[in-house]
Every structure is written in structure tokens, then in C-alpha cells.
Structure 1
């Protein structure tokens, strides 16, 4: 890419060339292809000078270890693993205490699933191995990250504080995502190294506060801990704006979904390319937590019911049969396609390296040419 320079202290902290971080995006489309950010995308971003982050939440421990080693076969640069540490989640297998985990779900919710299947003409298919019925725990995944000495552990949801001391003993940096200042202060007290302030514009699990309002408030709340901005950032203008808000880097997901390396179905990538900024919906349908997706009829139908979602774990188990039925019927348009409002800015598939280069080049051009040419700014003498 030539001699473009864009550095903040994030670069020194993580050992990377540019403050561009790949969001550790997990399973989508009902888990049919696994995580969106797998080894190929992670390595491509790291090799381009950013920080690739694996969407590790959907991997069983042995599979996670294998994927980490695949990354190391493709890059010798720093990378991270993103896991989920949700509060108030239910582990159905444990909660059932040897009984049928599905019995934990109230009958009226199964009736809703039945009605939705009828509404969309879906066969009555039962999910064979829902992720929610796994027997391993996030602690087992963390153990793999520690044993493999992954340079960075990221928490895409929840507070990773219990694991920070062991990470730091091994030289592993810890990143935590937050959607408000309350949680930013909480993870800061837990000793994390970097905080990602993610605005509601972001795809996947997201909060209620916009990026423009959230980032400076988190920056002020947790100083001197460095903050990275996320949500709606898909080009160099967004990177420059994030830096102006006090962030020291960006955490980007949606823009990397439209790359050759992203582990999505072709139909998912095409829908992202076709989407406008208004073609997303925030729903609790798929996980019980608020999640932004490309709008689809099933999510709209669920939201129209006005039903309270079940806790995370149970909601996913409830919907697993519904998703399996949609997949069996070949109705891709009903499946989850997590993406943010920045989808409207994305018009073509590209290599991940090109995305990183464009983010850096665009930011440098804004900071060194476009702003100075468009804005005259002078401080009074002595200020």
C-alpha cells in the first residue's frame, strides 16, 4: 500500500501496523457455515496490518484449538479470539438436571413456533444438535486460548474480568465490548486492556446508543484505558471520525462480511450488497439478546407478536427447530444474516486486504488533505 502511516497507541499495545480490528463475528444463518470470521479472514486482516479476530463462540474446545492452529499456519502476525460471557444466560443441559432441556420452555412458546411454521409453510423439522445443548462451557474455550497463548482475548458480550489475571500472567491482552458507559466502567474495573464502544448501528448483538454519542462518553468514563469505536464504520471517513471522537482505533464487522474470505453463504453476501441503511432490524428472535440483522420476514413476524423473548440459551433452543425447518425448506430469506447499518455503504465484494488498505488510505486522506482543505480552524493566540 505504499507509505501510508496511521498509528495510535493501540498499534503499540497489540503489535500491529494499523488500528484496524476485525470484529470477531460468530455463527450466522442458523450456524450452517459456522462463524463468519474464521481462519481465512482472520489471517487476511492480520497479514494486512490490522488485528484479525476469530469468532470463537461457536467452536467446541477441540475445534477452537484446531482453528487457532490453522490461523498460525497462515500468519505470524498478532490475532485474537472473540468469546461470549453473557450474564443471565441459561445453560439448558445443566438447568434440566438430567431431564429434557426442551421442557424448560413454556408450552405457549412452542405453540408460537408451530404457528410461525404454519405461517411460512415450513415442514415440522427438529434441530438435530442445537448449539444450546452443548456440554462444554466458555471456561473450556478460555482454557484453550490460554494454552495456545493467543495474543488477544476479546469479549464480544459480557464481562471477562474473571479471566483477566490469568491472561495478563501469560502476556495476553484483553478486549471487552460495551454498549453504554455503565458497562464500560464495569469492565474497566475488571482490568481489561482495551474497551470497544459499540454503537447500535453495529450488526449482531448490539445496544441502544448510537456510536457518535457513545464513543466520547466511554472515552471520558474509562480514561486512560484506550477505546476503540464500533458501529457503522465502513470507510476511511468513519475511521477519521472515530479518531476525532477520542477513539484510538476501529472494530469493523459488516464491511468485512462482504469479502471473499468471509465464511458466509453467497446469498448472505449478496443481501448485504443489496441492502440500504434502512434494511436492518433489531430483534431478540435468534438469541434472546438484541441483535441487528438484515431484515427478514421471520424476524418481522416475531417482533409483530410482541412476545417477550426467553433468556439467552433457552431462546436459541426454542428457535433452533424453526431455523432447521427454514433450512430444510430452502427458505434462506428466513434465516439470520447479522449485519449493521453500514451495509448501505458496501457495494462490491473485495479481498479483506483491500478493505484494510481502503480504511487506512481513506482515513489518512481525510486527516491530511480533505479536512485541512475544507475547514479553516485556528486557535486564538495563547490558547
Structure 2
């Protein structure tokens, strides 16, 4: 599997990266990812098939599923039966998914945050690992920056390594490749795209965030920290505050029941970006405008090539 550009679009739930965004990235030469988290299996099947139609079967389409979800196994197996190009999984670690991948002949990629986990993933059968640093949006698995972890992982494994977390421009891509990455995964930048499946008010929240102080780390009910844009909701759940859960969806394997993470994500993607969780990466404030995916990728690759020229000139 070798896309025209070394960019994987990060899987973002709930309902942020579905068929529209994934297909646009695939058509632009990258790898599009549908988030299978927080939607039904039937909805996921629909979006996989729609993405195939939009790419005319030519682009690369994968599915991201959180290990922490109760429907993890069902969702992954359903995606594999649809013959997606690969599966990416994070927010926990599953040994079984590699066996399922061999059964259905679908490559499996693990999101890891250390060389130790990367080596374990390789031993279990991962086709590649996505190394995610502290700068990422959403659930976080480490407090260490990406470019500190990346060289350690590259030295430890022999499978492809994808750099993720805080990648926002072409210079970041060039730096990751220089450090041994085969490519990068980017989520936050693609939220602010014309084709992103999120509503305009959600995308606008990204554009209106102009300073890193407008971001906050929250402890979600998964048990991990997550980076989000400050709003009424993040204030309401600060500290050990608990919110009333109207109806439990029984969606998580382990839940603190302090509030409903799923409902909070659905609230924001339904348009209420003040009273729901709006996950975003640490450098969201550097994004100034909403652009078509093709334009974003073209600019990224132009910046990357320019940065690589500078890197080579310094080496020589």
C-alpha cells in the first residue's frame, strides 16, 4: 500500500470523519479514515460503501475503532468483512484484532505512544504503527512530545512508522520523514476542511480558536486525558465534577460514569459547541481558514518539499 502522498487522515469520532472526508482525502492522494466509533455497524457499512463509490474504488479507505468501546470486536469484524484497506485502533490495546486481520486478510495498524508498545504491536502482527505524541487531539496515551518518541520507535521496529500528534504543516511532515517516519497522520487540520463531515459551526470553532490557552486537558470517562477546546462543558466537568447521565448507552468497557463522553461528543457535532466536547489538537490555533481537502494537501506537499530542500542543504 503506497498512496500518492504520505498522509493518513486521522479517524475522528463521533461523526467527524465519515465517508465525505475520507473519500476526499483518498481522492487527493492520501489515505482516508472513517471513524467507526459512536455510530452503528450499519451506519459504518453505509459510509464504507459510499466512500468506495466516491473514490470509484481507487483510493485507500480505512476504519478507526477505539478499543475502549464495547462494540469494538463487532465493529472491527464488520469493517473487515467490507474489505476496507486496513484497520487502525487506539485508546487501548487488543491482541485479538491481529488474528482477525489475518483471518479476513486486512492489515491492522496500532496507535502507540512508546517504543515498548510499538515492539509488542509488531510482534503480534501489526502491519505498521501510528506513533502519537502528546500534541494530539482527543484521547491521549502519553505526556511526551511526538518528536521525542518517534526516533525511539523507528529504531525499535522494522515495520513502517507513521507520525501523529501536532502535525499541522508541511515542515512537520518533512521533519517526521527525516526522523524515519514513512508518513504522517493528521486529524485536526482536516476538520477545518470543506469536505469534513462535521457541521460548519463545529469547523468554525476551530477557526475561532486563536491561542493555545483556549485548549484544556480533560479526564474523560474512558480513563484517559483528552485535549479539547475550552467551553461551557469543559468548565462543567473540571476537577471531579459529575454531570447527570440521562441514559447510559453502555458503550464503554470501563466507564467512570462521571458524565457521558459519547453524549458530549454527539452534542457538539449536532451543533452545540458550547455544551459538548470539541476535541482538537494542540496546534489548532494555527489553522486560519477552512479549505478544500485538495488545497490543503497540495499546500502541505509544497511546504514539505521546500522543507526537505532546506534539510538536504544543511546536510550537504
What is the TM-score with the length of structure 1 in the denominator?
0.72
2:308 equivalent to 1:367: yes
Q: 1:42 aligns with which of 22, 25, 31?
A: 22
Partner of residue 299, structure 1: 234
From the superposition, tell whether residues 182 and 295 of structure 1 become closer, same or farther in structure 2 (CA, over 3 Å).
farther
Contact 2:205 2:273 in 1 (8 A): no
In the alignment, what sits opposite 2:67?
A: 85
Aligned 1:145-184 pairs, distance under 5 A = 145-184=79-118
Cα distance, 1:317 vs structure 2 = 7.6
Q: Compute the displacement of 1:321 (Å).
A: 10
How large is the RMSD of aligned CA atoms in angstroms? 2.5
Structure number with larger C-alpha Rg: 1
Distance 1:321 1:206, change over 3 A: closer
CA distance in 2, matches of 1:331, 1:142: 30
> In structure 2, what is the equivalent of residue 56 of structure 1?
36
| CA distance in 2: counterparts of 1:38 and 1:316, whole angstroms | 27
2:146 paired residue number = 211
1:141 aligns with 2:75: yes
Aligned partners of 1:152 and 1:174 also within 8 Å: yes
Kept in 1, the 8 Å contact 2:81–2:104? The answer is no
For 1:69-127, what per-residue CA distance to the aligned partner results, in whole angstroms no more than 9, with x for missing partners?
A: 111110121210001113xx7x5xxxxxxxxxxxxxxxxxxxxxxxxxxxxxxxxxxxx
Unaligned runs of 5+ in 2: 243-251
The CA distance in 1 between the partners of 2:199 and 2:29, in whole Å, is 26
- The CA distance in 2 between the partners of 1:353 and 1:184, in whole Å, is 32
Q: Residue 21 of structure 1 corresponds to which residue in structure 2?
A: 8
Q: Is the 8 A contact 1:24 1:54 kept in 2?
A: yes
1:315-334 to structure 2, matched below 5 A, reads 315=256, 318-319=259-260, 323=264, 332-334=273-275
C-alpha contact 2:38 2:262 (8 A) present in aligned 1: no
8 Å CA contact retained: 1:273, 1:346: yes
| 2:279 matched residue in structure 1 | 338
Aligned partners of 1:318, 1:253: CA distance in 2, in Å? Answer: 25
Aligned length: 301
Please state if 1:228 is matched with 2:166. no
Q: Contact conserved, 1:258 with 1:348, CA < 8 A, in 2?
A: yes
Look up the match of 1:72. Answer: 52
| Aligned partner of 1:197 among 124, 131, 142 | 131
1:289 to 205, 210, 224: 224
Higher relative contact order (CA 8 A, sep 6+): 1
Specify the SS of the correspondent of 1:146.
Answer: helix
Q: Is the 8 A contact 2:170 2:299 kept in 1?
A: yes
Q: Conserved in 2, the CA contact under 8 Å of 1:288 and 1:316? A: no
Give, in whole Å, the separation in 2 of the partners of 1:312 and 1:291.
18
How many Å separate the matches in 1 of 2:113 and 2:22? 24
**CA distance, structure 1, for counterparts of residue 173 and residue 109 of structure 2:** 19
Gaps of at least 5 residues in structure 1 are 1-13, 28-34, 92-136, 379-383
Give the secondary-structure state (helix, strand or coil) at the position aligned to 1:332.
Answer: coil
Secondary structure of 1:334 counterpart: coil
